[in-house]
Amino acid sequence: MKANTYFKKRSHMTWSPYTLLIKSLILSALILTGIESKVSAQDSLYTKPSWWFGGAVGANFNFYHGSTQELNSELTVPAVFHKGSGVGLYLAPLLEFHRPDSRLGFMLQAGYDNRKGSFNEITTPCNCPADLSDKLSYITIEPSLRLAPFKSNFYLYAGPRFAFNMAKSFKYKQGINPDYPDQVADPDVTGDFSNMRKSVFSMQIGAGYDIPLSSQNKQTQTVLSPFVSFQPYFGQDPRSIETWNMTTLRAGAALKFGRRHKIPQPVVAAPVMIVVPDPEVKFSVNSPMNIEVDRRVRETFPLRNYVFFDLGSTEIPDRYVLLTKDQVKNFKEDQLEVLTPKKLSGRSVREMIIYYNVLNILGDRMGKNTSSSVSLAGASMEGIANGKAMAESVKRYLVDIFGIDASRISTEGQIKPRIPSEQPGGTKQLTLLREGDRRVSIASNSPDLLMEFQTGPDAPLRPVKITAVQEAPIDSYITFNVEGAKEAFSSWSLEIADANGEIQYFGPYTEEKENISGKYILGAQPNGDYTVKMIGHTKSGKTVVKEIPVHMVLWTQSKDEMGMRFSIIFEFNESKAITIYEKYLTDVVTPQIPVGGTVILHGHTDIIGDEANNKTLSLARANEVKSIILNALAKAGRSDVKFEVYGFGENQSLAPFENNYPEERFYNRTVIIDIIPPK
């Protein structure tokens, strides 16, 4: 018997907080799948696949909204069902097309799409609980446009969904009134929904990430692609009556297979010389004998007069060494290795220990020179008061721990430091630049605290002198020369094979000379025989290959040679030496170069800015220092010094410091001067 109802159709319901949670999950998934790791090995034997075939499996998280009451012509339930949810299986073969290194492509999936679920329990007019579940399923066809915005393994996709109904059964269950426990419950009612649409048309948007599973040497490539997609309620009304609609979040993974084609390998040219019609290119390798020499270094390390603060804090960061009053009496500037910071990252640990003791060095020098004074200027984009609080934090440490008279220390707050890294109109990498501008600058007019020959507020603190064993020096690196590469090649790379056939890949490069440390090739081996293959790609699209056998020797240590090291620091994006260093280079560094000695200059930058520009900038910095020293030597009537000049840019395997903190980036804007006596 058909029950009487009083039912009014409703419009689509607005988003609930639960649905907003779904949107947040989707956004998180898109962000997480956008994280990409870099792959250093380059495979030149095969093309990359354009066509991919496979299958996808996933789970549909279905969310019901709207209303349904008339299940079919024989059953209209006494109360309206509104919301529900359920999980169904998605299973489909797939086809993809996207050319290698392109952004656009096409995807097609067609298969089984289950949208089953259960409505939330309701109470009927007889005070009886009622439940409704359904088993909806479709054959779905989903063509999509594929977009890889960064030409990487991360991709987005969007397109229509065509679905054809396969199953539409339901089960209705009405319980008994709890006030009448002896009442007999009605039997469950099963059947098929009436007025079901045979087909629905909707849309979807999603994201995925391709994870290669195959070796780079395999011709058939296998890729696993986790994905997530969102299919809103638009067009997802399963029935032609009432207002029931569905929103679906799908998560799963696709397994895809693609086949590559072999690239015809070019004929190997004659040894040593690669000849292309125009212009000529020569390839050679210089692998030093690296006879055991322990180059001990007397290093004069510049003391940057900045203290960098973390965003949102006016307290001195705990990566700086902060002493107690009892430790001050035992503090010695020449024994800083016993005072290691809590957070010390990466390479050049010895030098960073010096810098992270900058406040202790300053406090010790002011304690020994009671007439000296300093001014502290705190710079903060959060306001002058915030910058002032940072400066007061440094002052409080010097007063409370080292007992410096507060009248000898002045403080002020600023929005930006006097020499800011962030320049007007700048739009790139502002986060890193602003980290460097959030600092307290230490200035003084007291010569006892400052670098030789320097006075005034811009003068840096006196450097610290240390003696240590130098790690593999620049002149021990293996040099790969490709003369004419800039004209002939758009890029070139290296394949270095050992005696067992194991291959290491380096590049691509665009310069005519590259240096690689022997330890990156040899590892712990003292020496080895290698076949070095240079692969050049000409601007006309040709590939040129050259092989050279090379014997390599790892640089090791003895105790024969003493060198000196100095460092010159540059401001952000500047290639001209800081003015105060010119007299220092002329009057302090140049006189210490021995007759017949060698000066090795290697310039560096931090990671901010364009990589190619940083390479040019670092070489310009090294040549600037060379020019100043050459002028000083010429005035002294000397021409006996040999120079080696290198520009390594932001190369993080060769940079003197990491780039995690602003102080490390400031120290990487440098030219390191190694002075080597004649052998």
Q: What is the pLDDT of residues 244-301, one digit of tens each?
A: 999 999 999 999 999 887 766 555 555 555 454 555 777 777 766 554 444 567 788 8
Question: 171 pLDDT exceeds 80?
Answer: yes
Note the pTM of the prediction, 2 decimals.
0.48
- SS3 string of 419-464? CCCCCCCCCCCHHHHHHHHCEEEEECCCHHHECCCCCCCCCCEEEE
DSSP assignment letter at 195: S
Q: Do the beta carbons of residue 621 and residue 647 sit within 8 Å?
A: yes
* pLDDT at 184 (0 to 100): 84
Range 131-148 average pLDDT: 95
* Least confident piece of the model among 339-353, 405-419, 420-434, 573-587: 339-353
Question: 564 pLDDT exceeds 90?
Answer: no
Task: Report which of 598, 602, 597, 621 is spatially closest to residue 517, judged by C-alpha positions.
Answer: 602
* pLDDT at 256 (0 to 100): 94
Helix, strand, or coil (residue 628):
helix
Residue 112 structure tokens? 């089984």
* pLDDT at 29 (0 to 100): 46
Task: Report which of 348, 314, 351 is spatially closest to residue 336, judged by C-alpha positions.
Answer: 351
Residue 452 structure tokens? 């030789």
Torsions phi, psi for 535 (to 5 deg): -115, 110
Q: What is the rounded end-to-end Cα distance, in angstroms, of the chain?
A: 110
Question: 414 pLDDT exceeds 90?
Answer: yes
Question: 54 pLDDT exceeds 90?
Answer: yes
Listed in sequence order, the residues at least 6 apart from 223 whose beta carbon sits closer than 8 Å to its beta carbon are 52, 210, 211, 212, 213, 214, 255, 256, 257, 258
Distance of CA 314 to the CA centre of its chain: 27
Grade residue 147 by pLDDT with cuts at 50, 70 and 90: very high
Beta partners for residue 132, in sequence order: 172
The proportion of the chain whose per-residue pLDDT surpasses 70, expressed as a percent, equals: 81
* pLDDT at 217 (0 to 100): 72
Rg of the chain over CA atoms, in angstroms? 35
* pLDDT at 277 (0 to 100): 55
Grade residue 32 by pLDDT with cuts at 50, 70 and 90: very low
Range 524-528 average pLDDT: 77
Task: Report which of 677, 650, 676, 674 is spatially closest to residue 664, judged by C-alpha positions.
Answer: 650
* pLDDT at 304 (0 to 100): 86
Beta partners for residue 335, in sequence order: none
Top pLDDT among 609 and 468 is at: 609
Distance CA 238, CA 232 (A): 13
Question: 469 pLDDT exceeds 60?
Answer: no
Looking up tokens 């900038």 gives 617
Average pLDDT, the chain: 82
Range 388-404 average pLDDT: 95
Grade residue 152 by pLDDT with cuts at 50, 70 and 90: confident
* pLDDT at 642 (0 to 100): 93
Distance of CA 63 to the CA centre of its chain: 37
- Work out whether strand 527-538 and strand 489-497 pair parallel, antiparallel, or are unpaired: antiparallel
* pLDDT at 474 (0 to 100): 57
Question: 346 pLDDT exceeds 50?
Answer: no
Range 206-229 average pLDDT: 89
Looking up tokens 């007439």 gives 371
Beta partners for residue 249, in sequence order: 61, 230
Residue 109: CA atoms inside 13 Å, Cβ hemisphere, count?
28
